[in-house]
Amino acid sequence: MAIAAAITLPLTTVNRHSLSYSSFSSFRFSSSFCLQSDTHQLVSISAVRKPSSRILASMSIEAPEKFSPDSFLDRRESGILHFVKYHGLGNDFILVDNRDSAEPKITPEQAVKLCDRNFGIGADGVIFAMPGINGTDYTMRIFNSDGSEPEMCGNGVRCFARFIAELENLQGKQSFTVHTGAGLIVPEIQEDGKVRVDMGEPILKGSDVPTKLPANKDQSVVKSKLDVDGITWNVTCVSMGNPHCVTFGTEVSQGLQVDELNLAEIGPKFEHHVMFPARTNTEFVQVFSPTHLKMRVWERGAGATLACGTGACAVVVAAVLEDRAGRSCTVDLPGGPLDIEWREEDNHIYMTGPAEVVFYGSIPL
């Protein structure tokens, strides 16, 4: 898939960069630039040439006095995909306006290429804003960076909410209903710009998570033993519409130091463990206090990420079930903190955190 891109960064003085190159697979393009902290002006740029010296990549820069996201997102050129890149605590996504179709505008294979951090835009996934079904305002679908489609994504739904607000030009406190593979999700944009999301009720029945580990607390799997390469881990299994395996330590060492873990080595062993027929997300958790937890995550289909919203929700549920924490916690992730509350009144989990624009871009398909 040959790709050209026009990228606009949302800076104080917006700098617009358009770049084009012949083929993702035939060469590697790199550019370098620095932004002066006082003026936010782009001051240097470079492009790579092949040995033949023929320029395969080019970049042009212009700094318009005013950039309008509205006019950018309203563009409808044939064969061009306009997108906005967002991140929620570093968990980054390519957001696509797909409200005119119930089918995603790109394939899972194309999503893999776009998410590539060396030869693509770079992201943990592609999110599509689609028409609502079953009475909801919108539908959200996601392709992971490996092309798989998860049921839902907590950080992604916060980015989705901010994207919808921009598309619809919504101001102030707003909420709407979103259909996902995990069911109904209701995000609410707060006055401070953060997004509070009603994530619904956790699924605790082991067979529905799903896991093949036998239930040991009613129908749930709580602090159960899981052998991973000869090491026995204590795990609690929770679904937030997508499967999570939460661990606070091994049978020998109860207190994890999560920064010392080699996620790249151990994460895939949990994800593809035979006890998780749909694979699993895995959260490794350190407890600071009953209201303060720290986690690192290995996400199914994406690997180690800076944040996972559904994972943070699952962590608080697991912490409550194992009597390690209360129902309202701050969960520290590598990308920053999320506030999670598991309400006793309605059994729903509420997640609050930021979502921010990274840049606007266009690519030919």
pLDDT at 5: 52
Hunting for tokens 């002066």 — which residue is that?
36
Hunting for tokens 């990274």 — which residue is that?
358
Strand partners, 80: 364
* Given the residues 153, 245, 313, 329, the one annotated as active site: 153
Report residue 52: phi and psi, to 5°: -70, -5
The answer, yes or no, to whether residue 145 has pLDDT greater than 60, is yes
Q: Which structure tokens are listed for 109?
A: 């294979």
Calculate the CA 84 to chain-centre distance.
Answer: 14
Report residue 12: phi and psi, to 5°: -55, -50
pLDDT at 49: 33
Beta-carbon count within 10 A of 265 CB:
9
**Average pLDDT score over residue span 326-350:** 98
Beta-carbon count within 10 A of 85 CB:
20
**Average pLDDT score over residue span 17-29:** 32
List, for residues 188-216, the tens digit of each pLDDT value: 999 999 999 999 999 999 999 999 999 99
With a threshold of 0.75, does the pTM exceed it? Answer: yes
pLDDT at 58: 34
Q: Is 153 a catalytic residue?
A: yes
Q: For every residue of 249-281, which 3-state class applies, written as one string?
A: EECCCCCCCHHHCCHHHHHHHHHCCCCCCCCCE
List, for residues 164-195, the tens digit of each pLDDT value: 999 999 989 999 999 999 999 999 999 999 99
| Cα–Cα distance, 183 to 181 (Å, whole number) | 6
> Highest-confidence range of 5-14, 74-83, 128-137, by mean pLDDT?
128-137
Instruction: Give the orientation angle of helix 154-167 with respect to helix 309-321, to 10 degrees.
Output: 140
Q: Is 329 a catalytic residue?
A: no
Distances (CA, A) of 141 to 95, 149, 155, 286: 10, 8, 13, 31
Q: What 8-state DSSP symbol labels residue 236? A: E
Helices (H), 116-153: none
Distances (CA, A) of 262 to 220, 222, 234, 265, 335: 28, 24, 18, 6, 17
* Given the residues 115, 159, 237, 308, the one annotated as active site: 308
| Cα–Cα distance, 283 to 258 (Å, whole number) | 10
| Cα–Cα distance, 96 to 163 (Å, whole number) | 9
Helix (H) or strand (E) holding 126: strand 125-131
pLDDT at 105: 96
**Average pLDDT score over residue span 231-252:** 97
pLDDT at 59: 35
